[in-house]
Structure 1
Amino acid sequence: MIIQNPVSDPLSDVLALAGLRAACSVRLQAGGEWALRFRPIELKFNVVRRGECWLRIENMPARHLREGDCFVVSRTPFILASAAHIEAINASEVFAQSGASATYGSGNEVELLGGSVALVSQGAAELLDLLPPAIVIQAQAGGASSFAWLLDELDREWQSAQAGAYAMCNDLLRLIFVHALRHHISTADIADLAWLGGLREPAISAVMRAIHGAPEKPWRLAEMAEIACMSRSGFAALFKSRVGQAPVEYATRWRMRVAASRLENSADSVSTVAASLGYLSDAAFGVAFRRVHGKSPGQYRRSTEDRITPTRPDLPSNN
């Protein structure tokens, strides 16, 4: 048997450092005239399983959602309602009485399924900063059926109490998030994608894969331009326009993201981490790390030691 290492994938690399954890899974049935306000802590995934409703977010046009439509909301209060201008009450009040499955209004014409995510890595916030307040995937769009199926599986696992169910929930949420990100990368205006925009440009994507595959390498502009098969000036300009950072800056920041993950998730000394990333001295490593993260490697490690990650947060906090 020949086992080949997979080609480095920048998006997968970033997701691996993000630390997504399942927070809750909820179901809502509603009917008549109704409106509920949700306040997601980090990320909330949803699918309209039956009927139709409106998604309202401040400073954004209301979106009419139909059966099969999916949406992701990032850190932003939102309202689900039977019409665009009904006064909403807090969803936490409804779910506090009903638990993971709630009924509201008169009837059950509408059914929604949702899953919430907590983030457990300090670097995860950088990933959320790339997302718009809401991503809507219409039922007829590619990937919507997979997104809905994954949410159904998440709901079943969350309620099952079977061995390994929580690990399954975490894996399902990562898959759901990848589907949402892929949709965003393929449909958004490239100016709104930040470094994700580089994944839509073959020459830039090839360089990003190389950087992620060898974070310990002190990448130089000429080497990266050669991988892209471009002149140095043309490559530098294209990379900056697509990614929002100069090529060498991007390589350095990724190197420091990897360093932060190793400090956070291993018992290796600062010197060992520095050496593993190609630094010949702790001092040089410390200067580069502080420039990116705003604190020394030792301070960063100590700041992560005090963080406590709950296994299953209280349900109402995610509604």
Structure 2
Amino acid sequence: MIIQNAPVDPLSDLLEMVHAKPACSVRLEAGGAWSLRFRPQSCKFNAVRKGECWLVVGNDQRHLRAGDCVVIKECAEFVLTSDPALEPVDAALAFGDDALAGRYGVGHDVDLLGGSVTFGPDGASQILDLLPSTLVIEGAATAAAPLGWLLDQLDSEWRSGKAGSRAACDDILRLMFVHALRADFESRGENALGWIGGLSDPPLAAVIRAIHADPARLWRLEDLADVAGQSRSTFAARFRARVGATPVEYATGWRLTIAASRLRAGRESASSIARSIGFLSDSAFGAAFKRKFGVSPGQYRAKAGPRATSEAVLTADPETAAA
């Protein structure tokens, strides 16, 4: 078997760094005239398995059909209903008998699978800021083809009750979430926000991938312009217009995102992390980190919990343990 290095993939990098963890949480069956209000505390992912219904978020109404998938941003209240004119009731009423399998109304006209996606501290905005408040991927869309197959597998696992089915459902939901993000980004193309928009521009995509491939390098504007194959002025203006930050700001931001993830893991001292990602001194690292996250590396690590703090102290070099 030939094993090759995987290509650089900025979206996968970010999902790993922000600790995106989908979890398949509930199934909802409804029929007749019904209307349920949901008040999520995390990013929600829903898929219509059978039938059709309406999604209402604020003043926005969307008709959902079998195969459609929906991503609702964190803490955004929404309603699922047979008729937007109906007054909704708290969704908790549908899950009184079983917290994982809800039933409401008369009959079984609609079947939905729901899940949540949680993120690590300070990580959610890096994904959620790229998304509209309500993302609907229609099952009939070409980009949704993988979602249809995954939805079938998710439904099969949920119904099977076999050993490990919940873990399998979580893994399938993770794939569905990634495909939903990909479908949205591809549909928006040049109109996509932030660095995702940059990935649709080949010269800028080459630069973003280069930064992710070698985050410890002290990238200069001329180095990145060479990667893009453009003059410095043209490249700098194009990158800022598409990504919303200068090339060097993006490179520094990515290095600090890596640093934050490693601080949360709790296996290294702040000094060793700073050296490994290219900062020339602890003070330079501390100042840059505080500008991005509002706290020092030590304070950030302490917020991650006692395990991260204790493990970092145990693994620190004697001369840098106080950093």
Question: What TM-score comes out, normalization by structure 2 length?
Answer: 0.87
Give a deviation string over 1:225-245, Cα, whole Å, max 9, x none: 111111111111111111111
Q: Distance in 2 between matches of 1:226 and 1:235?
A: 9
SS in 2 for 1:6: coil
Measure the CA separation in 2 of the matches of 1:161 and 1:48: 20
* Paired residues for 1:65-144 under 5 Å: 65-75=64-74, 76-144=76-144
Change (3 A) 1:145 1:192: closer
Residues 49 and 151, structure 2, Cα contact 8 Å, conserved in 1: no
Give unmatched runs, 5+ long, in structure 1: 309-319
For residue 254 of structure 1, what is the aligned residue in structure 2? 254
Paired residues of 1:36 and 1:81 also in contact (CA < 8 A): yes
Q: Is the 8 A contact 1:22 1:173 kept in 2?
A: yes
**Residue-by-residue CA offset, 1:138-180 (whole Å, 9 max, x unaligned):** 1211243422443454455567676655554443232112111
- The SS at the match of 1:29 is strand
Unaligned runs of 5+ in 2: 309-323
**Counterpart in 1 of 2:205?**
205
Which secondary structure state, in structure 2, belongs to the residue aligned with residue 83 of structure 1?
coil
Distance 1:120 1:170 in 2: 17
Report the residue type matching 1:63 in the other structure: R
User: Identity rate of aligned residues, in percent?
Assistant: 51
Q: How many residues align?
A: 307
Deviation string, structure 1 residues 178-211 (Cα, Å, up to 9, x no partner)? 1111111112374452221111111111100000
Who is 1:315 aligned against? none
Q: Could you say which residue in structure 1 is the equivalent of 2:46?
A: 46
User: Greater CA deviation, 188-197 or 293-302?
Assistant: 188-197
Counting only pairs closer than 5 Å after superposition, residues 95-244 of structure 1 correspond to structure 2 as 95-154=95-154, 157=157, 165=165, 167-188=167-188, 190-191=190-191, 193-244=193-244
Q: Equivalents in 2 of 1:161, 1:50: separation in Å? A: 20
Q: Is the contact made by 2:28 and 2:113 (CA closer than 8 Å) also made in structure 1?
A: yes
Q: Name which of structure 1's ranges 243-252 and 167-176 shifts more when overlaid on structure 2.
A: 167-176
Residue 297 of structure 1 deviates from its aligned partner by 0.8
Q: Per-residue CA shift, 1:45-80, capped at 9, x if unaligned?
A: 2221221111100032x1111122221111211111
C-alpha offsets along residues 93-143 of structure 1, whole Å, 9 cap, x if unaligned? 211333322221112111112122222343233212221121111121124
How much is the aligned-residue C-alpha RMSD, in angstroms? 2.3
Q: 1:302 to 1:151 in 2, by over 3 A?
A: farther
**Cα shift readout 1:5-31 (whole Å, capped 9, x = no counterpart):** 112111111011121224442221211
Mapped partners of 1:9, 1:48: distance in 2: 30
Tell me the TM-score normalised to structure 1 length.
0.88
- In 2, Cα distance between equivalents of 1:238 and 1:83: 46
Amino acid at match of 2:283: A
SS of alignment partner, residue 98 of structure 1 = coil
Distance, in Å, in 2 between the alignment partners of 1:289 and 1:165 is: 41
